[in-house]
Amino acid sequence: MDYSNGRSFDQAHNWSTQVFRLFFGNDSFRIARSMAEVILEVKNLTKRFGPPTGESGFMAVNDISFEAREGEILGFLGPNGAGKTTTIQMLLDVLKPTMGQIRIFGRGFENDREYILRRINFSSTYVHLPGRLTVGENLLVFALLFSVPSPRKRIAEILSLIGAEEFKNKRYAVLSSGQKNKISLAKALINRPRLLLLDEPTASLDPEVADATRQLLKEIVKKEKMTILLTSHNMAEVEEMCDRVIFINHGKIVAQGTPLEITKEILEEEKSEPDLGQVFLKIVREFGP
């Protein structure tokens, strides 16, 4: 089958999904997932700020373990101060763990830092690019940092993909919050990452643009088998996008599974649809602010 167009790819994907369900029923997702390559593996990850012992220190991340596989969108959720940002900073090797292990593509930062960082990327609503540079200049800097082949061609492709060609020659400083968020996503996709860390990717976007962004990300994951770790406070967005979800609070994982599994577990009710909004509220209220 010719995969050069999206329709053919979708037909092949839908056919393979139907075959899995025919033979394996409702367990098809778990079986397919178990066959996929482990992209991110975290074991006993801990980060303590301040003295290693005593009450004056602060345990930001407390002995968490999880994994993400190829082509999976994993939600990483929790209230403000739960430890999400600290975890992401350790996954980017910006912060060093106090204890624990991080392996990405089966490698560790100790020996393969450059290899790993060339194949991952990150986008956050709260991280901005240099305001005096144009959008095109900013993207060129990152394309060169990642040694992207034909960088100017890739920049044109990405801006077209996210519908932001008109911003190429505008200074980043004059863009609106929503426009800056789109350019942050463009930066994160510039090197075709195998692992993408997204912090509130649709914050500041109007509903139509936010929906288009979600559809774009899902399409990229499906076609390129990218793995995404997603943080968001938009529970409807998480339910729509994520294959599995991890809830973290006070630095500890308190629940993980599919959105529906977690809904049933935390709400202690039989549900046919996920309700992560109520799950979020119950976790925060039961485990404290």
**How do the pLDDT tens digits run along the chain, 289 residues long?**
443 444 444 444 455 555 444 555 555 555 555 677 999 999 999 999 987 766 678 999 999 999 999 999 999 999 999 999 999 999 999 999 999 999 999 999 999 999 999 999 999 988 899 999 999 999 999 999 999 999 999 999 999 999 999 999 999 999 999 999 999 999 999 999 999 999 999 988 899 999 999 999 999 999 999 999 999 999 999 999 999 999 999 999 999 999 999 999 999 999 999 999 999 999 998 876 5
On whether residue 229 sits in a domain, the answer given is no
Task: Report the chain's C-alpha Rg in angstroms.
Answer: 20
On whether residue 26 sits in a domain, the answer given is no
On whether residue 75 sits in a domain, the answer given is no
Residue 228, both tokens? 């995404």
Render the burial of 29-52: b for 16+ CB within 10 Å, e for the rest: eeebeeeeeebbbbeebbbbeeee
On whether residue 152 sits in a domain, the answer given is yes
From the centroid of its chain, how far is CA 163? 21
Q: In terms of residue numbers, what domain contains 150?
A: 128-192
Say what the pLDDT of residue 47 is: 97
Q: What is the number of structural domains in the chain?
A: 1
Say what the pLDDT of residue 220 is: 94
On whether residue 176 sits in a domain, the answer given is yes
On whether residue 21 sits in a domain, the answer given is no
Residue 3, both tokens? 């995969």
Residue in the structure block whose two tokens are 């599974």: 257
Say what the pLDDT of residue 24 is: 54
pTM of the entire structure?
0.85
| Strands ordered across the beta sheet of 58-69 | 58-69, 38-49, 99-104
On whether residue 59 sits in a domain, the answer given is no
On whether residue 117 sits in a domain, the answer given is no
Q: How far apart are CA 157 and CA 146, in angstroms?
A: 16
* DSSP bridge pairs for 228: 73, 196
